[in-house]
């Protein structure tokens, strides 16, 4: 299992970019660090029902489904776009790491250190707003809900012939939907802001990985 994990990490790190074609091909840019702007866009005053609505803990309610790449991609998107400032930031970082390649290695701590230090792979963990952005979210009491648009896109791709021969199947997963961001505006009133994000990721599945794992974030919009 260690050998396959190491080969997967090296193969994914060697990729400069993946995507569909033409303008859809992107690299991991600075936008992966950017959290939703709670005061940007067309904000609206929340209705009393929306203001009273509290977020549900997706992480606690549903464990990650690691037996299906599309289901895992959906879960990851719901984690990323359902962030709640009242939770600890590390909860979300740990959740994404737990479904990343290397998380089930014999020396998981060393694997995580190497994983987050590799620029081609670090985008997975950086889907969570950085600590400064998290503080700004807390100042606005910001949380979000995310409704996935069905169906979730899932296309089988071959990352490397040797990996396929070793039993690794890879799937490009695209999740889109509607994110409703709740926050307190500058005037002190509850407001909402709607975003329609998308998250494209490469997910690998193998018996040696104990199911499916997130290999790389390909694109995130916005």
Tell me the per-residue pLDDT of 114-157, one tens digit each, with 9 for 90 and over.
766 665 555 677 788 888 999 999 999 999 999 999 999 999 99
Q: DSSP assignment, residue 84? A: B
3-class DSSP state of 18: strand
* Number of domains within the chain: 1
Task: Note whether 126 and 97 are within 8 A (CB).
Answer: no
Supply the range of the domain harboring residue 161. Answer: 2-221
Length of the chain: 222
State how far the Cα of 153 lies from the Cα of 171, in Å rounded to an integer: 10
State how far the Cα of 8 lies from the Cα of 16, in Å rounded to an integer: 15
Entry pTM: 0.76
3-class DSSP state of 151: coil
Task: Note whether 46 and 145 are within 8 A (CB).
Answer: no
Q: Return left, alpha or beta for 160; rule: phi > 0 is left, psi -120 to 50 is alpha, else beta.
A: beta
Encode pLDDT of 1-54 as tens digits. Answer: 444 555 555 455 444 333 333 333 333 333 333 344 443 345 555 554 544 554
Percent of the chain with pLDDT over 90: 41
Beta strands in 28-152 (DSSP E): 44-45, 143-148
pLDDT of residue 121: 59
Q: What residues does 174 pair with on adjacent strands?
A: 153, 200
Q: How does the average pLDDT of the chain come out, rounded?
A: 77
């Amino acid at each position: 299992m260690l050998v396959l994990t190491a080969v997967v990490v090296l193969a994914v790190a060697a990729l400069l970019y993946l995507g569909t074609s033409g303008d859809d091909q992107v690299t991991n840019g600075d936008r992966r660090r950017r959290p939703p702007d709670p005061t940007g866009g067309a904000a609206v005053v929340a209705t009393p029902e929306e203001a009273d609505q509290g977020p549900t803990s997706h992480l606690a309610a549903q464990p990650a489904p690691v037996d299906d790449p599309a289901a895992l991609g959906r879960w990851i998107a719901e984690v990323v776009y359902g962030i709640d400032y009242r939770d600890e930031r590390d909860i979300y970082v740990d959740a994404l790491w737990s479904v990343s390649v290397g998380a089930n290695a014999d020396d998981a701590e060393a694997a995580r250190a190497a994983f987050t230090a590799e620029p081609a792979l670090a985008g997975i963990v950086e889907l969570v707003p950085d600590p400064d952005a998290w503080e700004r979210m807390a100042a606005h009491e910001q949380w979000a809900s995310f409704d996935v648009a069905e169906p979730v896109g899932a296309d089988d791709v071959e990352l490397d012939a040797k990996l396929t021969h070793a039993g690794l199947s890879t799937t490009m997963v695209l999740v889109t939907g509607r994110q409703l961001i709740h926050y307190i505006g500058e005037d002190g009133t509850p407001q909402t802001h709607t975003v329609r994000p998308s998250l494209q990721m490469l997910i690998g599945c193998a018996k040696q990985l104990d199911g499916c794992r997130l290999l790389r974030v390909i694109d995130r919009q916005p």
